[in-house]
């Protein structure tokens, strides 16, 4: 597949072609997603929950995102590689934000960064773009605000909230973001935002009318079962396959049937 860039995504929106995005945290997944033709790979801070076992995404560090982005970059040829800016990597000031975004590109080989927030982060988005780094916005349910929100809830159900989200989306576009993730908002609102913007929207729990969709790989493959949001479609149950395979391995070792002659020198 031809290398996907931010320009490709804008062209896809114009042509009405859907953008397929997925999270990835390791080399093997990046390779498989490339083979499947995924357009965008996101090293999301969901990494903290589904790979590192944290309670939420707040403890994720720059070092952890860099480490995993490097692995994905080694396995990725064709997809646009986006890295998440972890909690407190962009909240302090523009200077620190640009320095951290720069590390994701320079050290980890990300091709763009994503950060959560609306109007309040538009100066940060602009500063990163002024430094030459493309930015993917993320509005709606922003998991880094879990403490403020008191849990993970659908956003924008009431009119004032919905209006604020439209303003946030416009602010992100105005600041120069190349696309925006819309997380957990009503499908009708996502459609309205998608129609208003010239840049693509990538939905997760935001209905079918976004310009693209993203899911957390571990959710859609059945590798993370602590909780499963309503918007997750399980495309496989790799967790069950692993449990069964590991169980058979244990049985073979305990019975002494592995390794047989076939697997011995
Ligand atoms: O961290 C993440 O994986 C994300 C996606 C859910 C969009 O932000």
pLDDT single digits (tens) 29-82: 999 999 999 999 999 999 999 999 999 999 999 999 999 999 999 999 999 999
Please answer whether residues 201 and 190 qualify as being in contact, where contact means their C-beta atoms are separated by less than 8 angstroms.
Answer: yes
221 lines ligand 1 (CB under 6 A): no
Predicted TM-score (pTM) above 0.85:
yes
SS3 category, 55: coil
Apex 151 CA angle, 82 and 180, nearest 5: 30
What is the tens place of the pLDDT at every residue in 182-210?
A: 999 999 999 999 999 999 999 999 999 99
Tokens standing for residue 30: 């990046």
The tokens describing 90, both together, are: 């962009």
Evaluate: CB of 204 within 6 angstroms of ligand 1: yes
Phi and psi for 80 in degrees, rounded to 5? -75, 125
- 2 alpha carbon to ligand 1 midpoint, in Å? 24
Q: Cα(134)–Cα(125) distance, rounded to whole angstroms?
A: 9
| Mutational pocket test of ligand 1: of 214, 227, 228, 229, the residue with most ligand atoms within 8 Å of the beta carbon | 214
Q: Is 162 in the pocket of ligand 1 (CB under 6 A)?
A: no
140 lines ligand 1 (CB under 6 A): no
In the set 111, 167, 183, 262, the catalytic residue is 183
Active site residue 163: no
- Please report the sign of the dihedral spanned by the C-alpha atoms of residue 231, residue 101, residue 165, residue 200: negative
CATH, range 6-234: 3.20.20.60
Whether the pLDDT of residue 126 is over 90: the answer is yes
CA of 46 to the centre of ligand 1 (A): 6
| CA–CA dist 132, 102 (Å, integer) | 9
Share of the chain above pLDDT 90, in %: 98
């Amino acid at each position: 597949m031809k290398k996907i860039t931010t320009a490709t995504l804008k062209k896809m929106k114009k042509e009405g072609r859907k953008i397929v995005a997925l999270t990835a945290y390791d080399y093997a997944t990046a390779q498989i997603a490339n083979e499947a033709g995924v357009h965008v790979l996101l090293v999301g801070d969901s990494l903290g929950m589904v790979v590192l076992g944290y309670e939420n995404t707040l403890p994720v560090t720059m070092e952890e995102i860099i480490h995993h982005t490097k692995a994905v970059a080694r396995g990725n040829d064709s997809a646009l590689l986006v890295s998440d800016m972890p909690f407190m990597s962009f909240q302090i000031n523009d200077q620190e934000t640009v320095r951290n975004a720069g590390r994701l590109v320079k050290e980890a080989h990300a091709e763009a960064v994503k950060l959560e927030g609306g109007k309040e982060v538009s100066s940060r988005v602009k500063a990163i773009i002024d430094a030459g780094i493309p930015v993917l916005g993320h509005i709606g349910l922003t998991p880094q605000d879990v403490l403020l929100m008191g849990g993970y809830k659908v956003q924008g159900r009431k009119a004032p909230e919905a209006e604020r989200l439209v303003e946030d989306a416009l602010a992100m576009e105005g600041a120069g973001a190349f696309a925006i993730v819309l997380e957990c908002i009503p499908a009708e609102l996502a459609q309205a935002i998608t129609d208003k913007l010239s840049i693509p929207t990538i939905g997760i729990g935001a209905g079918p009318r976004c310009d693209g969709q993203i899911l957390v790989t571990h959710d859609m493959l059945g590798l993370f079962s602590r909780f499963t949001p309503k918007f997750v479609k399980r495309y496989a149950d790799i967790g069950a396959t692993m449990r069964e395979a590991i169980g058979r391995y244990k049985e073979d070792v305990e019975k002494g049937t592995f390794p047989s002659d076939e697997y011995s020198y």
